[in-house]
Amino acid sequence: MTDAQESRSARRLELARKAFKEFSLQCFWSWPEDAEITEETIPSIVRGLRLHGGHRGYKLAAELCR
């Protein structure tokens, strides 16, 4: 992986972790509070944000998909 790809991946992961914390009660209420957010869980984060996150959640989901 190149430095640019690693940097993009790290930013995406950080955004997913922040979104999980911000929307935990609204979108991820059934997940454990201390769930480990990894690259593999990002699609589930995106799905939850799109379904239950309202306008802001949908925008964050779009950002995670870039």
Cβ proximity of 45 and 19 under 8 Å? yes
Q: Tens of pLDDT along 13-56? A: 999 999 999 999 999 999 999 999 999 999 999 999 999 999 99
Nearest to 13 by CA among 66, 53, 64, 51: 64
pTM above 0.85, yes or no: yes
Domain range list for the chain: 3-65
Cβ proximity of 10 and 29 under 8 Å? no
Nearest to 58 by CA among 18, 31, 12, 19: 19
